[in-house]
Each structure stands twice: as C-alpha cells, then as structure tokens.
Chains A and B, each alone.
Chain A
Amino acid sequence: DIQMTQSPSVLSASVGDRVTLNCKASQNINKYLNWYQQKLGEAPKLLIYNTNNLQTGIPSRFSGSGSGTDYTLTISSLQPEDVATYFCFQHNSWPTFGGGTKLELK
C-alpha cells in the first residue's frame, strides 16, 4: 500500500494568512492526488482533484500543486470558515488517505 503522510498534523494560523498543507506519498503517485475538507460534524468535501483541479463551487483561494511524491494544498488568504481538517487522498494505486491536518485559527 502507498502510505500518505500529512504535515503538520495541527496548524494554527491567523485570518488572512497564506497557509500551506503538505502531503507526502511513500512512492510516486503520478499526480493522482485529491484534497478533502472536513468540518466538525460534517462529511468530507472535495476541494481539489488530480493535484490542481479546483472542484466546482470551491473558492479560488484554494489551490493545489505537486508531483511525484510531494504535494501541497495552499489557501491564499485564510478565512474563518476554513477551520477544518484537511485530508489528502491518492488514487494512483489502491486508494489511501493521509492522516489529516487540523487547521485552527490563532
């Protein structure tokens, strides 16, 4: 199985900050990487698919990048409603999720 490691596990940032979340795969996943946002008490929500494709309806402050084994989700200007846990998900082979990054307001 491909292991997905997210860092940091917890991130505190202020409104307006540029925030970067990281996801590292144990092997090359050929950009087959999605990002999901999960707010407290809710189901996960698709933000970005295949590394850098913004899902319909998702604000443009969210963006994704990466290749090979290293991927990032960037929020250009953090908003209060972005407080959530973010999960990466690879589907290059048997699909696996990362452990998540909890994003908090400072």
Chain B
Amino acid sequence: EVQLVESGGSLVQPGGSLKLSCVASGFTFSNYWMDWVRQTPGKSLEWIGEINTDGSKTNYAPSIKDRFTISRDNAKSTLYLQMSNVKSDDTAIYYCTRTEYRYVMDAWGQGASVTVSS
C-alpha cells in the first residue's frame, strides 16, 4: 500500500523557518517525481513545487520561489520542504504528493499543519 506520512508541522513566527518531512513507503520512491501542495484555511489549494527523481531538478510556484526549498533523500525514501522567511499567508496544511506522470498527483499524504503567527 502506498503511504506518505508528513511530519514537522507546527506554529512558527513570521520570518521564521520550518522543515517538513514526508516519509514514503509501499513503492519505489526513487522512481517518482514528488510534489508539495498546500491548502489554506479557506480551503483553496495551491501547487507549491516539484522535484525530479534524483533531486537534481526542482520547480517552484512564483509565490514561494526563493523562500522554500524542496529536497529528497532517496536512501531514506524521504521528501523535504524547507520553509524560510515564512509569512502569515503560508498558514496552511501542506501535502506531500507522488506524481505518477508529470503533475498527475496520484497519492497524497494526510497533511502537515503549519501556522504562521506571532
């Protein structure tokens, strides 16, 4: 069974940093591109970014570029999202997703909750 389990969500102050992790199981992690998607308290969904199979290529949504970094450790079957200089607008549930084909997100984790507030 494909499983994605996020962790690391918490309350963080504006301007602070946070790193989310997503541990994958039930499939060969290194064969898949992986994406992050977030959902705001108002329930809007936003695609954040993606990383290719070996971690050598990443793409980010313009709204978070240069503040967030996606990385992966294939030996640990783990995906990461490093968040820096966070803003109140970054408050959301962050989902780790597997992409079966480019941008076809066929498996989702349960989400990690991030709240940015002083």
Contact = CB atoms under 8 A, between A and B. Distances in A.
Interface of A: 1, 32, 34, 36, 43-46, 49-50, 55, 85, 87, 89, 91, 94-97, 99-100
B110 A43 contact: yes
Given A55-B106, A94-B61, A100 B111 contact: no
Indicate the size class of the contact surface on chain B.
Answer: 10 to 19
Contact of A97 (B44, B62, B102): B44
Given A89-B47, A94-B47, A97-B44, 11 more contacts: A1-B62, A34-B104, A34-B105, A43-B110, A44-B37, A44-B108, A45-B108, A85-B43, A94-B62, A95-B47, A96-B47
A94 to B, nearest CB: 7
A44 B108 CA distance: 7
21 contacts: A34-B103, A34-B104, A34-B105, A36-B45, A43-B110, A44-B37, A45-B108, A49-B104, A49-B106, A55-B106, A85-B43, A89-B103, A94-B47, A95-B47, A95-B103, A96-B47, A97-B44, A97-B45, A97-B46, A99-B44, A100-B45
Interface string B62-78: 10000000000000000
Nearest to A34: B104
A50 B104 contact: yes
Contacts of B37: 44
A97 B105 CA distance: 12
B110 to A, nearest CB: 6
Contact of A43 (B46, B62, B104, B109): B109
A45 B95 CA distance: 12
B101 A49 contact: yes
Contacts of A97: 44-47
Interface in B77-112: 95, 101-106, 108-111
